[in-house]
A = this chain, B = another copy of it.
Amino acid sequence: MIIVRSTAELGRALARSRELGKSIGYVPTMGALHDGHLALIQEAKRRDDVVVASIFVNPLQFGPNEDFESYPRDEETDLGLCEKVGADIAWLPTAEELFPPGFGLTVAVPRLSSVLCGQGRPTHFAGVTTEMSKILILLAPTAVYLGEKDFQQLVVMRAMVRDLGLPVEVRAVPTVREADGLALSSRNTYLSLAERPIAASLFRILTDLTTQLRTESGEVAAVLAAGRRQLIEAGVHRVEYLELVDSETLDPVPEATSGNRLVAAVRVGTTRLIDNVEV
């Protein structure tokens, strides 16, 4: 595995592959890698000739009171994991090069970015799409691999790539979970021992609700209201949202249809968790 930092090094590392017309699979990460990230790299390895994984805690996607400074960072461990699962190039971009002094661009999909997580994190998705549009133009991969766990991010990224006309395929990879169903997330390390089972109740309740939504059509509002109560009863401190949405527009749907997505964001203690299940 080649480790590169500057875009010049990245260009040199990929030059031969580009000449030969090899396909390039790209896995963007913020480090603190877990099996969810590794599944993305493995899927890229399976489908593309060359796999580039990036590790970069993107400052643009953190709000002023969020955990940018405290976000877990462990470069050495992350690089070891990238190599182990077969990444060909690990790219550690620098903020200085991606966002030099005077940088003033915003690339956004405002409507899709303002709903759901966007209500509590109004600048988050614009931070993601600004960074990712720049990186996808620079790297020009064949495909970018994103986890379904961050479902809204996946939808926003698909829209950005399509609307900007970037020649990149966005490939979704299913969420990887702990044995008890908790979706893997770098932020799970924030959970206390007592909070851990409460966090696991999120997926269990989402799965139950999905079964109800599939069978009890026409009762969406009632199922969601009951779901919010169940989450609180399970020990969740706050339900930021629990919604059934169209999987492309993210619009709330009044009646469950195949392909809809049940999406949720909750607080367990001070830790914010998100998850989603297809209906």
In angstroms, how far is the closest chain B Cβ from the Cβ of A31?
A: 23
Does any Cβ of B come within 8 Å of A15's Cβ?
A: no
In angstroms, how far is the closest chain B Cβ from the Cβ of A54?
A: 15
Is B110 touching A138 in the complex (CB atoms < 8 A)?
A: no
Which listed residue (B102, B138, B163) contacts A105, Cβ 8 A?
A: B163
Does any Cβ of B come within 8 Å of A107's Cβ?
A: yes
Does any Cβ of B come within 8 Å of A166's Cβ?
A: yes
Which listed residue (B102, B138, B164) contacts A134, Cβ 8 A?
A: B164
Which listed residue (B103, B111, B159) contacts A163, Cβ 8 A?
A: B103
In angstroms, how far is the closest chain B Cβ from the Cβ of A78?
A: 25
A129 to B137 Cα, complex, angstroms: 16
Does any Cβ of B come within 8 Å of A112's Cβ?
A: yes
Closest to A105 in B: B163
Q: Mark A89-109, 1 if CB is under 8 A from B, else 0.
A: 000000000000011111111
In angstroms, how far is the closest chain B Cβ from the Cβ of A85?
A: 29
Q: Name the B residues within 8 Å of A108 (CB-CB).
A: 105-106, 108
Beyond A102-B159, A104-B112, A106-B106, 10 additional pairs, beta carbon < 8 A: A104-B109, A104-B110, A104-B159, A105-B109, A105-B164, A106-B107, A107-B107, A133-B164, A134-B165, A137-B166
The 14 sampled A-B contact pairs (Cβ below 8 Å) are: A102-B159, A104-B109, A104-B112, A104-B163, A105-B108, A105-B163, A106-B106, A106-B107, A107-B133, A107-B164, A137-B137, A137-B165, A137-B166, A138-B165
